[in-house]
Amino acid sequence: MRSARGADGSEIVFTRQERVLLMELSRRPGALLSRSELHRAMAATGRMAGERNVDFIVNRLRARLGDDARAPRFIATQYGEGYVWIAAADRPDGVAAFVVVGPVRGEAQSAAAASLVQGISDQLATLLGSGRKVVLVPDWQGDEAAQVAFALEISLHAELSDLHAAMALRSLPSGRVIATRRARMAQREAAGQGVAIARWARGAIWRHIAVPDGSELLTPSDVPVEIRLNEAGRALTRSPERWREAEAQLRKARDERPGDPSLAILWALNLFARLIQWPPDPGLASPGGATALEDEIETLVLGNLAGIEDNALLKLAAAKLLFFTDRGHLELAEQLADEAFADSTAFGAAYATRGQMLMCRGAIPEAVALYDKGIELAEFGSDFHIYLLVLKCTALMAGNDRPGVARTSEELYLARPNSRWMAPFFISPYDDDLPEPVAAALSAYSPERCQQVLRHLYQTSARHFLAAGHRASVMRGLATGLRRLVGPQAIPDDIARLLAASIR
């Protein structure tokens, strides 16, 4: 197999590595193939590195096939184990969509019913955008060939001049009902009701992805809540400011359930997302803006700990937030993280949270070991994988392991090429010549912009390390590069003093 034909008729020509992997998987449909098995099969190409390079080739192959790791049609991931070829030999009737509106049951033939159902489908497609396909299949039966993330079932009943509608939103392939809605409307007004129902469905999808249900069974590869929030935003918006989507959804949810402790923790996480965003939120530029958000985060977490006692993911989120605000709650944060790890199977999320506290206490090798364990559980190229790699780079910077930083940052760029915008944060203070793209980007900064970048790095990362030497090591690479390219005025006075003190 040298090539394949895409859905648009274009030819996809595979590399030798891609052909070997594709043939190895597709000739054994349904079988779990480990990384080591695939690595051995691909070694014959003579270009293989470590087993993790298998993940890169899988990721590249998915991109070329138009396959989505979260809703795969061809290659499914068994976290921490390997990959499975799930495509059937012939699937002419399969439906591929983010949401299927269907089946539609009951008295669905009237003009009012048809206009309602079509309006729901159209409005949901508009709300989700072009990246998330919505299809209306009134007689859909959930066929096994389908690749669908959610199904919106609708039942209709006409009574005199009214139309009654019952909706059930299911998560697939599990079939679990995640939200229901009952609506009653005048038949003559049915066409205008699609907007409200579509907004309800969109909000329910966001909550399902973002909000950890305390009753759900957790797996070792479950991700921290801050990553779930990001993934929920990614599912519903193409904007890089995903916290804005979360803010809108959380405001609505908190209005409906004002005393819900889980929503309070999620709101605090959304405030955290605003604080770490780059470029910084202009709304936080005023004096005390960031401090006010951290005050609110601290109050929300401490006031809602009792209500999240039985939810391991939310306890880990609370630990992360108390750690981040840096208000003297490190021991409480460590206790919460340890309890969540001891009481649940969410190993991956716990590795990430506990690793941050270990590295900031100075236990760099132990933190890196936890990050590596989390990386083994993470989907290659996923938000969680990228998050862990960035944390690992930070730990290695603090420990002044510059070769380790270089290796890990290259793994980061391999997993997600568009993450190279982060390269300035990982540059070495010992390199005489910066990579040309990095040097060009930094040279364009004004001294004021340089100081803003350095303060952001300090506030979001370096300040959490207890040892001044570790804080200085996190800052030194970027600060040295900016001083070289822009001059000493690029460095804020307090950061300059930190760096000078660390080399005495």
Choice between 41 and 309, residue whose per-residue pLDDT is larger: 309
> Which tokens go with 224?
């921290």
Cβ distance 170 to 153 under 8 Å? yes
DSSP letter at 82? E
Choice between 6 and 392, residue whose per-residue pLDDT is larger: 392
Side chain identity, residue 123: Q
pLDDT tens-place string over residues 270-300? 999 889 888 887 877 777 889 999 999 999 9
Query: Taking CA 150 as the corner, what is the angle to CA 146 and CA 151, rounded to the nearest 5 degrees?
Result: 80
Instruction: Show Cβ contacts of residue 444 under 8 Å, excluding neighbours closer than 6 positions.
Output: none
471: nearest Cα among 397, 389, 415, 408: 397
Say whether pLDDT at 269 is over 90: yes
> Which tokens go with 386?
């990228």
pLDDT tens-place string over residues 430-451? 887 888 888 998 999 999 999 9
131: left (phi over 0), alpha (psi -120 to 50) or beta: alpha
Phi, psi for residue 466 in degrees, rounded to 5 = -70, -35
Say whether pLDDT at 373 is over 90: yes
Separation of alpha carbons 471 and 502, rounded Å: 9
Q: Quick one: pLDDT at residue 318?
A: 96
Q: Which of 11-25, 188-202, 252-266, 474-488 has the lowest mean pLDDT?
A: 11-25
Say whether pLDDT at 145 is over 70: no
Q: What is the mean pLDDT of residues 87-95?
A: 56
- Domain ranges (residues) in the chain: 3-85, 96-210, 427-504
Separation of alpha carbons 279 and 93, rounded Å: 45
Instruction: Please list, residue by residue across 260-281, b when 16 or more beta carbons sit within 10 angstroms of its beta carbon and e when fewer do.
Output: bbbbbbbbbbbbbbbbebeebb
Q: Quick one: pLDDT at residue 382?
A: 87
Q: Strand 134-136 and strand 96-106: pairing?
A: parallel
Query: Taking CA 450 as the corner, what is the angle to CA 447 and CA 456, rounded to the nearest 5 degrees?
Result: 145
Percent of the chain with pLDDT over 70: 91
At residue 449, the 3 state secondary structure works out as helix
Kindly report whether the global pTM for this prediction surpasses the value 0.85. no
> Which tokens go with 318?
């609370």
Band of residue 130 on the pLDDT scale cut at 50, 70, 90: low
Q: Which CATH architecture has domain 96-210?
A: 3-Layer(aba) Sandwich (3.40)
Cβ distance 402 to 421 under 8 Å? no
DSSP line for 251-316: HHHHHHSTT-HHHHHHHHHHHHHHHH-SSPPGGG-STTHHHHHHHHHHHHHHHHTGGGTT-HHHHH
Q: Which of 122-136, 368-382, 461-475 has the lowest mean pLDDT?
A: 122-136
DSSP letter at 150? E
Q: Which fold is adopted by the domain 3-85? A: Arc Repressor Mutant, subunit A (1.10.10)
Instruction: Show Cβ contacts of residue 46 under 8 Å, excluding neighbours closer than 6 positions.
Output: none
pLDDT tens-place string over residues 43-71? 765 655 677 788 888 888 888 888 888 77
Separation of alpha carbons 10 and 255, rounded Å: 49
Beta bridge partners of 171: 150, 176
Band of residue 128 on the pLDDT scale cut at 50, 70, 90: confident
